Amino acid sequence: MPSFMYKEHIVAKPGFNRWKVPPASIAIHLCIGSVYAWSVFNPALVKVHGVATSASNDWTLGQVVWVFTVAIVFLGLSAAVGGKWLERVGPRMVGTVAAFCWGGGFLIGSLALYLHQALAGQHTWSIGSFSFDPLLWMLYLGYGVIGGCGLGLGYVSPVSTLIRWFPDRRGMATGMAIMGFGGGALIGAPLMSSLINHFYVAPQCLGSVAEVQLKTEAGVRMAEVAGQWREVVIIGANDVKNMIVEGPQGVYVAGTGNSGVVCTFAVLGVVYFLVMIVAAFAYRVPSPGWKPEGWNPPANGNGGGKMITANHVHIDRALKTPQFYLLWIVLCFNVTAGIGVLSVAKTMMSEIFGTALPAVVNASFATIYVTAISVFNMLGRFFWSSASDYIGRKMAYHIFFFGGILLYLSIPYCAQQVSAHPAVVWLVIFYAVTMLIFTMYGGGFAAIPAYLADIFGTRYVGGIHGRLLTAWSTAGVLGPVAITSLRSRSISVAVHDLASRIDPAAFAAKFGAPIDQLDTLVARKTVTIAKLMELVPAGTPDPSSNLYNSTMYLMAGLLALALVANILIGPVHSDHHMTEDELAG
């Protein structure tokens, strides 16, 4: 790399205004923080072929959520490696590589989606019961692996830099850096939604169900189009609200139209790359020994009784302390509790409240909900991290976990009540509860680098922080997998329960196949809860509102374990502190 990329060539000159550094950090984090708006993509990604609704060859929600999961896994892994590299080469180099990875990941993902759309499901390889979709794995590679590396490198690049610029306000400094990541979806969610709507093209509509001759083959609905039998999808009264762009009820030809997600990925890749490159070149680092005018570090090392050390622990030695692993548990379980909800936020809002309050909760409302999550996530990152400078990091996490347990337990109650007694008040309570959860979720992310600096010192905080982010990788798997697997189990139970209430003759007339083929019809996306609700006896409650109850109980339990870990954290033993000779070396 050219010499101007290294940290030795971006040392600030005397008199440099340290407030010029946060805008570059925030800009990079706003770009990579758009990963938190991933759920905006979900409705389009599961309808690339069907467009109006999912066709038989479309990916499932569980499959596309794995893209988000892989990205978070590689965020943590790349941060663990890149954190130590950052200490050696500086933030400009790391930020530049992050721009290429994040922007390039979107472009590779766009190519995978284009081929998936063009080949209409004919690219899947099947050997017996095993099937392999190379384009889905190409999306995992592009957005997940390469983009995830961009996330991790972009995430760590400003943290240690700002802590060194603001040693007098560590919590505020990390809050500023990481606030942008939480706010990425604030810009990303409406931008993604507007781009998808702009590029969306409605599929060919053949008319109402009564006007079209239909048949069912291997669980797939078919209709004759221009002398050929082609797959079709059917939009009923309960499906309209879940369309990307709402249209009339009827029969639509799969493989026509455009879900809009291909071009959206391409545009975002170019925009994010350009912004991140400019921001990376704006980074500056302080000269050795620099400190804010008039500020001196705590002489006694106790930081006013807030467990702030005046010593330093080497990056490799930190991994030998119990404090590192207790903090790992604290971060992992706090993130697991929030990231699962983030991965399906738009879908969750539509399923819990869309049926009970269809006049209020539609696709646009769900997108606004994702944007609101970003706002409170961002505000929580700055508020809680700044507050932790006064109340202490350990007390801040006590508040997160005590409050989070109560809030997560309240969500199933809201879901049950809105199902039994539809009223906007339950939506308002749910909204308020989840917004509070995400302030604490964001606050947990923003305060953790300062917590590490308090425990291990500032010398290697960037590298230690990077290694701790492997907890985020683990949570990136646990959260989405827990919420999608428990949701799938709840859907299976609900579908079989609803089917048992339906007259078999009415079922066969509706779906063109007997009820004993229920599992095949569900796998082919021909049968859904929404379509079954059109056939069940009047007064049958819609189970969609309660699909996430078991997940919320699990998340509350994880926060209880994190609370115990936080209680056990204390100062690092003096045996692990670096000596004067080591610090000089």
Give the model confidence (pLDDT) of 15-56 as tens digits: 888 888 888 888 998 899 898 888 889 889 999 999 999 888
Binned at pLDDT 50, 70 and 90, residue 303 comes out as very low
Using the predicted structure, report yes or no on whether residue 325 has a pLDDT greater than 90: yes
- 94, 156 Cβ separation under 8 angstroms: yes
Return the pLDDT at 195: 95
SS3 251: strand
Specify the 3-state DSSP secondary structure of 253. Answer: strand
pTM for the predicted model, two decimal places: 0.75
pLDDT of residue 322: 94
**Comparison of pLDDT for 436 and 173, the residue scoring more:** 436
Question: How many percent of the chain have pLDDT more than 90?
Answer: 30
Least confident interval from 197-206, 280-289, 498-507: 280-289
Tens-place pLDDT, residues 75-100: 988 988 887 788 788 889 999 999 99
Question: Can you tell me which residue has the tokens 């980074």?
Answer: 283
Indicate whether 128 pLDDT > 60.
Answer: no
Residue scoring higher pLDDT (343 or 58): 58
Cα distance between residue 530 and residue 540, in whole Å: 12
- Note whether 192 and 106 are within 8 A (CB): no
| Range in 86-100, 267-281, 287-301, 325-339 the model is least confident about | 287-301
Mean pLDDT across the chain, nearest whole number? Answer: 86
Q: Tens digit of pLDDT for each residue in 470-516?
A: 898 888 788 888 888 888 888 899 999 999 999 999 999 888 889 98
Q: Considering the domain 3-203+254-287+314-501+540-570, what is its CATH architecture? A: Up-down Bundle (1.20)
CA angle, 527 then 246 then 39, to 5°: 75
pLDDT of residue 405: 94
Q: Which residues of 463-482 are buried (b: 16+ CB within 10 A; e: fewer)?
A: bbbbbbbbbbbbbbbbbbbb
What residue segments make up the domains of the chain, in order of their start? 3-203+254-287+314-501+540-570
Strand runs labelled E in 236-390: 250-253
Could you tell me whether strands 250-253 and 228-235 are parallel, antiparallel, or unpaired per DSSP bridges?
antiparallel
- pLDDT grade, residue 585 (50/70/90)? low
Q: What is the pLDDT of residues 95-127, one digit of tens each?
A: 999 999 999 999 999 999 999 888 866 666 666
